[in-house]
Amino acid sequence: MDHAIDSRRRRLMLSSAFAATGLGPLSTAAFAQAAKAKPLPKYAEWKYIDSLIVHSSNTIETRRAAFGSSVVVPTDILFVRNNIPPPEESIAYDPDAWEITVQGVGKPGKMTVGQLKRLGVETVAMVLQCSGNGRGFFAHKASGTQWTVGAAGCVLWSGVPLAAVVKAMGGVAGGMQFVTGSGGERIPDGIDRRQVAVERSVPLKAMETALLAWELNGEPLPLAHGGPLRLVIPGYYGVNNVKYLSRLSFTEKETDANIQSSGYRIRDIGKKGAPGQPTMWEMNVKSWINHPAGDGPMLPGMVQINGVAFAGVNAVRRVEVSTDGGKTWTDARFIGPDLGRYAWRQFVLPVQLRTGSHVLVSRATDAAGNVQPAERTENERGYGHNGWRDHAVKLTVA
Amino acid sequence: MDHAIDSRRRRLMLSSAFAATGLGPLSTAAFAQAAKAKPLPKYAEWKYIDSLIVHSSNTIETRRAAFGSSVVVPTDILFVRNNIPPPEESIAYDPDAWEITVQGVGKPGKMTVGQLKRLGVETVAMVLQCSGNGRGFFAHKASGTQWTVGAAGCVLWSGVPLAAVVKAMGGVAGGMQFVTGSGGERIPDGIDRRQVAVERSVPLKAMETALLAWELNGEPLPLAHGGPLRLVIPGYYGVNNVKYLSRLSFTEKETDANIQSSGYRIRDIGKKGAPGQPTMWEMNVKSWINHPAGDGPMLPGMVQINGVAFAGVNAVRRVEVSTDGGKTWTDARFIGPDLGRYAWRQFVLPVQLRTGSHVLVSRATDAAGNVQPAERTENERGYGHNGWRDHAVKLTVA
């Protein structure tokens, strides 16, 4: 496992000089890459840049080699994806004062985070993953950020169960079919709210497992990840986990915001998005190898092949690993604590690698019997890629 | 729950100006405390100072109110305790090159971290706790850092199982009874190594669960926590988890280093430490409440009383909470994922608090039936304090 980038980061944190050179183990290629990296945006400048790929001020990816084997991805290397710029930092100064509007319940009204904290507290481990994670592997140059594997991370959320909030507010009103969350981003005057608002609807059943979260990985939820309050829908793609939650509605229909009606819809290449097409709700079964990451030649001998596997709302049950590009497979072993059905599992397979080229791939199976497919499902926007072939690590042993 | 200090921290990280005042929710008392705080030592200056109490350059405590409810304590607010100053930072520049000597096995020799990584990988969640956590509650002014509750944290370690290393090196030599780890701190010429060396022995059975860890909470193990390599003994007090591990020996007897022979021994007040007295190995059953933290008056009404409970090598099975100083008790509920027997569990009890003064306490029971006692066990150095009475939160509801 190549943790060189991260150990260098620790040093850089200490020396406060990113320009330091020559002493560390960072490969020439990795260093050149780091040196030409875009800077972190101000709202996320506390993150560790050398474990990240800054695609833009709103899209920041975790480097494959930076994923550890300790199950939880620390917040300082967790990916960031904002659909529109985040609100001003000042909303995070007094998180308990943040107020949400709740509609579509017996007693609609407003509730501050401070009040929500008195209603209940629960913690859930889950994989947060952007719908477009893996888009960079599509051949048709799908529009959007060219993520490879790093728009995902298993994290811990703490907050109040949505069901407890609903109970306190008189229950869900009759006939409602969806939970609709609205983000608190500021939309400038003159811009059509429907065109840009981050507002997503998920099926009502998600209410049973959803949280309104104010804490991420043991610390107050930072603005970069949706603080002061985020709607968390375990097992669903990232976009449904609405940041800076300002309104929570139980609705008869899905919102007509573009991000729901035409965005995040699976359709053939060349087609436009439209209601009725599958939308990015529950995540599919997926795995990939993080170590070795294939970012440099290795010496022959025993290697611990290590990666992650998860399956949306289903627990992952099995991972197989191949070192010959998928011709033959061997069951890998899960390691570390099981954080529950929405979390990912770390897997490991010890293998003897001889001199030569190897193509390492992994294939997960979930509790419902779904098996990760070999190929991606071609689609216009490059969503939901879980094909194992494109996620291969190509390794030279010399 | 008062997360104000932490949300302020996020802001401070963004503004890069600790001197900023007036806008945040930090209480006057807390701000005054933060303003007069000692600075972080250079090897740990990447930590979040306003979630910490810096007792000295070698002893840094997590503030009670800074503990979240997400089970794992993030590295940037995790306590630090060094017996002697850490080695130079340069040892962390190329962690894979760090070398340990292994003795008392069939084939003694040296092994680099890079080689260890090829032998196996496992992850364990465990509570890391200083033997002196709670020393500040002793009435006799026990010598040493006056920790209250924050010299502890539940963390995730990744590394190679010690058993796999031993297997690769020919097994434990005959007659050996202890696992002895030696720290890599530099001891100046002219100083008796036995007097100051961090070298601890634990019973051989600990080998079955021990790790040699290079990763903490998903990132390369930083120097501040023992990187490049730390001996991790799940369920044992912090001191046994030797940092910057330089030598690992299987031995017939416990080391004669002072830290083992006379240090970390439980004895009556006024007595000197000596072999034969109980030493700080397995941790006892313990719990405490973190929220509300009692650092300011609260409004009456429903409150979620939240804290942590653990039990060394035994899983914790039950936590009771009292709001009247221990006269009456109610079972609390565990929340969040169960990370295994060595981890702590987060517990919560919703209670209606009326106007007035309240004394909140918690009492844990482990899987072996051990119950957290009301009173501390008096001892010279203030070790192993798990009495629930001293850990009370005194709360004013107005």
The tens digit of pLDDT for each residue in B283-296 reads 999 999 999 998 88
Q: Which residues of B touch A337 (CB under 8 A)?
A: 123-125, 156, 337-340, 343
Type of residue at B380: E
Burial class (CB in 10 A: 0-12, 13-18, 19+), B16: exposed
Cα angle, residue A308 at apex, residues A47 and A86 outer, rounded to 5°: 35
Chain centroid to CA A74: how far? Answer: 12
Pairwise CA distance, residues B322 & B328, whole Å: 6
Q: Say if residues B69 and A121 touch (Cβ distance below 8 Å).
A: yes
Say which DSSP state A381 is in: T
Residues in A closer than 8 angstroms to B46, CB to CB, are: 10, 13-14
> In which residue are the tokens 């990370």 written?
B339
Region of B261 please: left (phi>0), alpha (psi -120 to 50) or beta.
alpha
All residues at 6 or more sequence positions from B364 whose CB lies less than 8 Å from its CB, including other chains: B285, B286, B287, B309, B310, B311, B316, B318, B319, B371, B372
Measured between beta carbons, the chain A residues lying within 8 angstroms of B214 are: 3
* Burial (Cβ within 10 Å: 0-12, 13-18, ≥19) of residue A101: middle
- Evaluate whether A24 touches A7 at the Cβ level (below 8 Å): yes
In CATH, which superfamily holds the domain spanning B89-261? Oxidoreductase, molybdopterin-binding domain (3.90.420.10)
Q: Which two tokens stand for residue B32?
A: 């005054």
Q: Which of A25, A45, A92 sits opposite B11 (nearest CB)?
A: A92
Q: pLDDT exceeding 90 applies to what percent of chain A?
A: 88
Quote the radius of gyration of chain B (alpha carbons, Å): 21
Tally the C-alpha atoms within 13 A of residue A231's C-alpha that lie toward its C-beta.
Answer: 33
> Chain B within 8 Å of A20 (Cβ-Cβ)?
no
Q: Note whether A157 contacts B: Cβ–Cβ < 8 A.
A: yes
The reply to whether B123 touches chain A by the CB within 8 Å rule is yes
Give me the pLDDT at residue B68, please.
Answer: 97
pLDDT at A32 (0 to 100): 52
Contact call for residues A149 and A288 (beta carbons, < 8 A): yes
Q: Do B123 and A339 touch (CB under 8 A)?
A: no
Q: Of B3, B167, B338, which to mutate for an interface test with A (greatest number of A Cβ within 10 Å)?
A: B3
Q: Which chain B residues contact residue A1 at CB under 8 A?
A: 117, 121
DSSP secondary structure letter of residue B187 = -
Is A14 close to B156, i.e. CB distance below 8 A?
no
Say which CATH architecture domain A286-397 belongs to: Sandwich (2.60)
Nearest 10 degrees: Cα torsion A165, A167, A173, A175: 100
Chain A's closest residue to B227, CA to CA, is A7
> Quick one: A267 exposed, middle or buried, by C-beta within 10 A (0-12, 13-18, 19+)?
middle
pLDDT digits (tens, 9 = 90+) for A250-292: 999 999 999 999 999 999 999 999 999 999 999 999 999 999 9
**Considering CB atoms only, which of A7, A69, A122 is closest to B93?**
A7
Residue type, A28: T
Contact B5, B63 (CB under 8 A): yes
pLDDT digits (tens, 9 = 90+) for B86-119: 999 999 899 999 999 999 999 999 999 999 999 9
The answer to whether A7 contacts B92, with C-beta atoms less than 8 Å apart, is yes
Chain A residues within 8 A of B338 when measuring between CB atoms: 337
Distance (Å, rounded) from C-alpha B43 to C-alpha B215? 17
Numbered ranges of CATH 3.90.420.10 in chain A: 89-261
Residue of chain B whose Cα is closest to the Cα of A214: B3
CB distance from A227 to chain B under 8 Å?
yes
CA distances from A300 to A27, A306, A351 (A): 19, 17, 10
d(CA B83, CA A179): 53
Q: Two tokens at B235?
A: 């369920």
| Residue among A13, A89, A214 whose CB faces B14 most closely | A89
Using a CB-CB cut-off of 8 Å, the residues of chain A touching B219 are 6, 68, 70, 74, 76-77
Is B4 near chain A, with CB under 8 Å?
A: yes
DSSP structural state of residue B390: G
- Amino acid symbol at A13: M
- Tell me, what's the pLDDT at A13? 40
pLDDT, averaged in runs of 10, over chain A (398 residues): 36 32 39 67 95 97 97 97 94 95 98 98 98 98 97 98 98 98 94 96 98 98 97 98 98 98 98 97 98 91 98 97 98 98 98 97 98 98 98 96
Q: How many CB pairs under 8 A join A and B?
A: 222
Task: Decide if A17 touches B, using CB distance below 8 A.
Answer: no
pLDDT-flagged residues of chain B (< 50): 1-28, 30-31
Cα B160 from Cα B221, distance rounded (Å): 13
Region(s) of chain A under CATH 2.60.40.650: 286-397
Q: How far apart are CA A86 and CA A100, in angstroms?
A: 17
Q: In chain A, helix, strand, coil percent, each to 5?
A: 20, 30, 50
Could you tell me which of B37, B46, B45, B79 has the C-alpha nearest to residue B62?
A: B79
Q: List the single best residue of A50, A118, A303 to mutate versus B (max B Cβ within 10 A).
A: A118
Look at residue B296 in the predicted model and tell me its pLDDT.
85
**Cβ atoms of B255 and B105 closer than 8 Å:** no
Which amino acid is residue A46, in one-letter code? W
Contact A127, A343 (CB under 8 A): yes
